[in-house]
Amino acid sequence: MFALTYYRPHVSGLTIYVERLAVALAERGHQVTVLTSQYERRLPRLENLSGVQVVRVPVAFRVSKGVVMPTIGFEATRQVLSHDVLSLHLPQLDAAGIALRGRLMGRPVVLTYHCDLQLPKGGINLIANWVVAVSNRLAAGFADQVVAYTEDFATHSPFLSRYLDKLRVIFPPVEVESTAETAVAEFVRQRRKTRGPAIGMAARLATEKGVEYLLGALDIILAEHPQAEVLFAGQYQNVLGEEEYAQRLAPLFERFQNNWTFLDVLEPEQMANFYKACDVTVLPSVNSTESFGLVQIESMICGTPVVASDLPGVRQPVRTTGMGKIVPIGDSPTLAKAILEVIDQPQIFQGDTEAIARRFSPVAAAERYERLFNELLGISNRA
């Protein structure tokens, strides 16, 4: 049983991670259930998605980006009893209660910690941050093992560094749809405003993504390449809890409207076209709510180098593959310089895309989780 606050059709790095892992395990013959929130009333309470049973619990009300589900305890008890192992994905307000049920009912609990929670400033958010932090710590105490994407992030995380004795590092599952060059060319024809270098960013328009620093780099980039264009793939309107941030950046988007294109959320095949259409992609994240950046690996699999912030975990894809540059956090001039270097000298930043795809495939991640689950269940792993 997987448990997380938001699942499909919500789009985030965390939901994509769990979807890929859950589907891969289902394809390996396991019964997989996702326990999550019915964050929109239009969503069915019970649904089968790609062989994964999705159970959604009604939401009474929201607190910032979190949800309150009065019946989660009843549903969690029922689901824990009918499963052999629990995989909880944090941050999650309800994780402690589910983990406690696992402990009391003799079900191994594996906790995967995706990122730190840092809500915007404000009284309610301050309380929400504290409540979630307490829940996370209780859940980790009840858990048998704690999974992190990288040791780099784990050792620098105030939360994960407390549980290094339980730590298991498992690379996140990443996959990219195959696409033809003709499809990429058609994507460029339909989506591009200019024919200069394409700078890609795949993200939600959210505070932690550091979009303002890419905007701040554009004057320097455009001085060298006046026809350069940013392609922004991801939700940019009505992002939950980010309305004020969007309003603050609106004048800059207006200023660079001829060199900035919003693509909205793209289907998987279109994402492959997006990455291949770009000369470089950028991840200028600003804090530890970003612990890795799956989009970096997606970009690299498509052969496109990355410029990423020097954050624990986030810097690891570039460090391990050599496909890009790492820049200081919140430094627009240095970000611009790194982007220009990749654009002007692409041959320096190429890597073994097939090896990267194998290393980070959902199958590889599923095998590692399966091995961990078997260990906790006392089942011998096959060689």
pLDDT digits (tens, 9 = 90+) for 279-319: 999 999 999 888 899 999 999 999 999 999 999 999 999 99
Report the 3 state secondary structure along 40-69. Answer: CCCCCCEEEECCEEEEEEECCEEECCEEEC
Residue 320: predicted pLDDT:
94
Residue 65: predicted pLDDT:
72
User: CB neighbours (10 Å) of residue 138?
Assistant: 15
What is the rounded distance in angstroms from the CA atom of residue 272 to the CA atom of residue 223?
A: 29
Inform me whether the pLDDT recorded for 128 exceeds 80. Answer: no
What is the DSSP code (8-state) at residue 118? -
Q: Do β-strands 280-283 and 260-264 pair in parallel, antiparallel, or remain unpaired?
A: unpaired
Place of tokens 């073994």: 352
**Please, how many CA atoms are within 13 Å of residue 352, restricted to the half-sphere of its CB?**
8
Phi-psi group of 356: left, alpha or beta (phi > 0 → left; psi -120 to 50 → alpha; rest → beta): alpha
Q: What is the topology classification, in CATH, of domain 2-173+361-377?
A: Rossmann fold (3.40.50)
202 versus 118: which is more confidently predicted? Answer: 202
Residue 362: predicted pLDDT:
97
- CB under 8 A, 24+ apart: contacts of 76-84: 76/3, 76/35, 76/101, 77/101, 79/1, 79/33, 79/35, 79/55, 80/1, 80/105, 80/107, 81/105, 82/33, 83/1, 83/31, 83/33, 83/107, 84/108, 84/373, 84/377
Residue 288: predicted pLDDT:
82
- As a whole-number percent, the residues of the chain with pLDDT over 70 amount to 96
Residue 11: predicted pLDDT:
82
Inform me whether the pLDDT recorded for 178 exceeds 70. Answer: yes
- Summary mean pLDDT of the chain: 94
Residue 162: predicted pLDDT:
95
Residue 119: predicted pLDDT:
55
Average pLDDT of span 144-149: 97
12 versus 188: which is more confidently predicted? Answer: 188
The answer to whether the CB of 108 falls within 8 A of the CB of 80 is no
Q: Cα torsion for 306, 230, 244, 13, to the nearest 10°?
A: -40
Residue 130: predicted pLDDT:
75
The answer to whether the CB of 79 falls within 8 A of the CB of 1 is yes
Average pLDDT of span 121-143: 80
pLDDT in tens, 57-110: 999 998 767 789 999 999 999 999 999 999 999 988 899 999 999 999 999 999
The answer to whether the CB of 78 falls within 8 A of the CB of 98 is no
Fold match between domain 2-173+361-377 and domain 181-359? yes
Residue 63: predicted pLDDT:
75
- As a whole-number percent, the residues of the chain with pLDDT over 90 amount to 86
Is 260 in a helix, a strand, or coil? strand
What is the DSSP code (8-state) at residue 301? H
Radius of gyration of the chain from Cα atoms?
21
Please state which of the ranges 116-120, 179-183, 325-329 shows the lowest mean pLDDT: 116-120
Reading the block at residue 262, the tokens are 């919003």
Domain boundaries, the chain: 2-173+361-377, 181-359
| pLDDT band at 191; cut points 50, 70, 90 | very high
| pLDDT band at 383; cut points 50, 70, 90 | very low
What is the rounded distance in angstroms from the CA atom of residue 188 to the CA atom of residue 60?
A: 44
Assign domain 181-359 one CATH number from 3.30.930.10, 3.40.50.1000, 3.30.460.20, 3.40.50.2000. 3.40.50.2000
pLDDT in tens, 243-264: 999 999 999 999 999 999 999 8
| pLDDT band at 382; cut points 50, 70, 90 | low
12 versus 271: which is more confidently predicted? Answer: 271
